[in-house]
Amino acid sequence: MNDRIDTDIAVIGASLGGVLAAWQAASAGSAVVLTAEFDWIGGQLTSQGVPPDEHRLIEHGGASRSYLAMREALRSHYLEQPGFVDNSVMTEGCNPGDGWVSRLCVEPAVAAAYLEDLLAPLAANGSLRIVRGARPVAASCAQDGAAKRVTAVTLRGADGALTTIAARWFLDATDTGALIDLAGLPSRLGKEARAEFGEADAPEQADRIDQQPVTMVMALRRGGANLQLPPAPPHYDFWHSHVLPHYGYLQLGLDIPGAGRGESVRLPLFGSGQVLDLWRYRRVVSAANWRQARAEVSLINWAQNDYGLQPLLEGPMAEDDVVAAAAALSLCLLHWLRTEAPRHDGSGAGYPDLELAPEVLGTASGLAQQVYVRESRRIIGLDCLSQADIAVAPGLPVGQAAAREDSVGVAWYNMDIHPTVVSGHGVNGHVRPFTLPLGSFIARDCVNLIPACKNISVTHLVNACTRVHPAEWLIGEVAGLLAVFAERRGVALAAIHADANLRGAFQQSLDDAGIVRQWDAALLARLAAPASLNPA
């Protein structure tokens, strides 16, 4: 049987952006359906197991009202626990796990519960329906002038049952741009050619396959009692001897890519004080932050388990096979850590007390429910944000933002590109604070599909800055509100972009929803002060 659901707005994919798109649209009174493939909603924050990657002004602003409220709520959750005490030393603010790459290293289950609570009142009043355990497998389209109109999307559940969703507006909130692909829309993927946008760091030739690697995050606990080591997992011999192309160091080791192409740095596995080490990179349980000590837990999302042999999308391997290969690499890394990693005290090799912590990621395996996706198919939009829009311009004051009058929100993060799967291009470069243009949300070739995740119209280089948590959260909010505005005004998306009055009215709706559209000068003035420990 093929069930059918009719709704105003269908949000396909419960990524972080998808959750916020559904929340904003349903809060505005629209009938919304949200589809969720994995047990936890929230994508990179939850099912992918990645604590927030944020810019260094986040403690003071530079994000939407709802994003800042989420940060405060997660901190309050910990501060209200009887045994919790804030002894954070790695970053400013209360950092529950006291990791150093994020100022808010929280357990994914806590974040997942927050997002469920956020949506619960909307589900209770009937404005939001969540279809769980289903993934999109087909899309039906009709011609609408020179462009397409998506009319329905078919989902397949874990039991094979099919559900068709018909809606007036479809938001692609998958982490891979799956709906863009199913609808047969043109898209960007991988790298654009330098000549297309004049980007200094783009290659001469475009390459859709040259994508950022994916990572299967795993949760590891210190102090395990079972010190008996299992046999080496499959493919261990390969990964044990694999040298990272273009960098020249062993993948299973202590080296990670540096700031520029081919550069690397070596970090200790364990450190103390403010030494940057691997274990505390994304640690989410710090023993020092609990009066009765808890076993420490870290989410392992390191360069060492970045799977870069094949692209996730449109490459020679099926997506599911790439995910399985990424999971196998993570288990090989665990075996290396337990048996061969050099001990920090010089007493030998291996940390056999490291063990998987399945409950932290909500799986039996201790691996994340979903692979961590850094790059998606991206719409061909009415506007496309490129490197020139975010580059630090010589001679400008510190913190000079890239402002636009068609802005729908502020964003900022380093151009963080992990070595890509073909060229090995990796960089972690500074950019200036910037804003997202409305045209990046409006597809050139479809009248009712709106991107709501990592799939807005940006280049590969800019995606490295917009793929992170505050930006994806913002993208979801804007996408949800854009669908509501277009539906209620009865206007085309392109008309909102072209007409200054409509655009201004839409921007006012964003302002009313607490979305910051321009960078505050007083906030940016803080950049003249010395940088905090995390330069992102």
Give the bridge partners for 140, in sequence order.
152
Q: Helices then strands (H, E): number in the chain? A: 14, 21
For 274-294, letters b (16+ CB in 10 Å) and e give eeebbbbbbbbbbbebbeeeb
Domain boundaries, the chain: 3-188+375-394+440-494
CA 272/CA 288 separation, integer angstroms: 12
Give me the phi and psi of 402, to 5 degrees please.
Answer: -90, 105
Tens-digit pLDDT profile for residues 211-267: 999 999 999 999 877 778 889 999 999 999 999 999 999 999 999 998 888 889 999
Tens-digit pLDDT profile for residues 28-72: 999 999 999 999 999 999 999 999 999 999 999 999 999 999 999
CA 148/CA 444 separation, integer angstroms: 10
Plot region of 29 (φ>0 → left; ψ -120 to 50 → alpha; else → beta): left
Residue in 104, 134, 106, 128 with CA at minimum distance from that of residue 116: 128
- pTM score, two decimals? 0.97
Give me the phi and psi of 407, to 5 degrees please.
Answer: -65, 145
Q: So what's the pLDDT on residue 536? A: 46
Q: Report the chain (536 residues): mean pLDDT per 10 consecutive residues.
A: 91 98 98 98 98 96 98 98 96 96 97 98 98 98 96 96 98 98 98 97 97 98 82 96 95 93 92 93 97 94 98 98 98 97 90 96 98 98 96 73 89 96 93 96 98 98 98 98 98 98 98 97 84 42
Give me the phi and psi of 506, to 5 degrees please.
Answer: -65, -45
Residue 421 and residue 452 in contact, taking contact as beta carbons nearer than 8 Å: no
**Which fold would CATH assign to domain 3-188+375-394+440-494?**
FAD/NAD(P)-binding domain (3.50.50)
Pairing of strands 32-36, 306-307: unpaired
CA 42/CA 246 separation, integer angstroms: 34
